[in-house]
Amino acid sequence: MAVQSRSFGKTENGIEVTVFSITNGNGTECSFIDLGAAWVTMNVKDKDGKFADVVIGYDNAEAYYHNPTSCGECVGRNANRIGHAAFTLEGKHYQLAKNNNDNNLHSGPDKWVTHLFQGSLPDGPEGCSVRFTKFSKDGEQGFPGDLEFSVTYTLTEEDALEIRYEASADQTTVINPTNHAYFNLAGDGTGPILDQEVWINADAFTPADEFSIPTGEIRKVAGTPFDFTKQKKIGADIEADYDQLHFAHGYDHNFVLNSPESGLRHAASLYDPKSGRRMDVYTDLPGMQFYTGNGLKNLYPGKNGADYLPRTGVCFETQYFPDAVNKPDWKKPVFKKGEVYRSITVYRFSTQS
């Protein structure tokens, strides 16, 4: 195992950015920057032993600072959407910025990817790690409470990337981070992901309105284009005549993961038949946003000049359900003073013939 750090350049407003790279004994390599604690690369072998970067993103700090489609972002304080950009905690109303129609998306325009985290290299028995910490002051992004936050990325010798989140605040607040990495197992910049295959361990999903705010319904996937309980191509049903697909121009929905009380469990898998690469996702969180990159835009050149067009990457964002803070029957990402938020998500890479 080896960990290295080097300059990733600076943003136009002068922020010096550092990239941390981890390489294991198999040659598998991943890297992260202290700007927003973003996940930048994941180089893994295919069935013939050829390496490729399977995470889409950018070559420079300035692109990550703007990052219009959230490539690799550590999203916080709250991932996904809050309806009407507002919620009430302990009788007090909180109004957030409206940056997605009438709603708040990924905590608003003051995104964490514009914030510089403190990077460190903690010791660990299971692999090499990079930890990023941040202090989020009371009122940042509109959320209450001074918040201490950390995210730790660990690469194991089994080619698994473990992401561990920990946070606590000095008053009741919302804590619901995720990672917004887009994956293309054929390799970054190789084109659409529609022929790659997905399995999701979910018998239900949460339908949303035309602005992607969940209606509150828990709908069974059986008999719908959202049934991934048997592995199928992403593109198999993506153009089906179904209102949820029309609203989001593809998949951009929260899946209700099975066995939510069982701790870390297998949530999903992604497989590319051409390269033989496989990714398995594990989490202890109740939901996962499956997003087929319908809104990817070529506003900034990607790595090596790649064009990132719609459906050239796919996200598996583990989370509490979107807008759960406003849904009385859903488990809420609300933590009281002194309570510690902890969660883990694992992306394990392998090959199959």
pLDDT in the model for residue 206: 99
Distance CA 217, CA 138 (A): 33
What is the count of structural domains for the chain? 1
Query: What distance in Å separates the CA atoms of residue 128 and residue 257, rounded to the nearest whole number?
Result: 29
**Total-model pTM:** 0.97
Task: List CB contacts of 122: < 8 A, sequence separation 6 or more.
Answer: 129, 131, 152
pLDDT of residue 124: 64
Determine, yes or no, domain membership for 224. Answer: no
- Answer yes or no: is 282 within a domain: no
Per-residue pLDDT of the chain (353 residues; tens, 9 = 90+): 899 999 999 999 999 999 999 999 999 999 999 999 999 999 999 999 999 999 999 999 999 999 999 999 999 999 999 999 999 999 999 999 999 999 999 999 999 999 999 999 987 666 799 999 999 999 999 999 999 999 999 999 999 999 999 999 999 999 999 999 999 999 999 999 999 999 999 999 999 999 999 999 999 999 999 999 999 999 999 999 999 999 999 999 999 999 867 789 999 999 999 999 999 999 999 999 999 999 998 889 999 999 999 999 999 999 999 999 999 999 999 999 999 999 999 999 999 98
Residues with Cβ within 8 Å of 74's Cβ and at least 6 positions away in sequence, in order, are 36, 37, 38, 39, 112, 113, 132, 151, 177, 178, 179, 180
Would you say residue 220 lies in a domain? Answer: no
Decide if 209 is inside a domain. no
Q: Is the peptide bond before 278 cis (omega within 30 degrees of 0)?
A: no
Nearest to 133 by CA among 117, 153, 152: 117
Residue 331, both tokens: 């488990």
For 191, the domain range is 2-195+289-351
Q: What does the pLDDT read at residue 125? A: 60
Residue 168 falls inside a structural domain: yes
280 assigned to some structural domain:
no
Query: Does residue 111 sit within a domain?
Result: yes
Per-residue pLDDT at 78: 98
Q: Which residues are catalytic?
A: 180, 317
Two tokens, residue 274: 């051409």
Among residues 50, 264, 279, 275, which one has the least CA distance to residue 161?
279
CATH number assigned to the domain comprising residue 134: 2.70.98.10
DSSP 8-state assignment for residue 305: G
In a domain, 268, yes or no: no
Predicted pLDDT at 103: 98
DSSP letter, residue 114: G
Tokens 């309806």 locate to: 83
Residue 243, Cβ density class (10 Å: 0-12 exposed, 13-18 middle, ≥19 buried): exposed
Chain-centre distance of CA 293, in angstroms?
Answer: 12
3-state helix, strand, coil in the chain (%, to 5): 10, 40, 50
pLDDT for position 201:
98
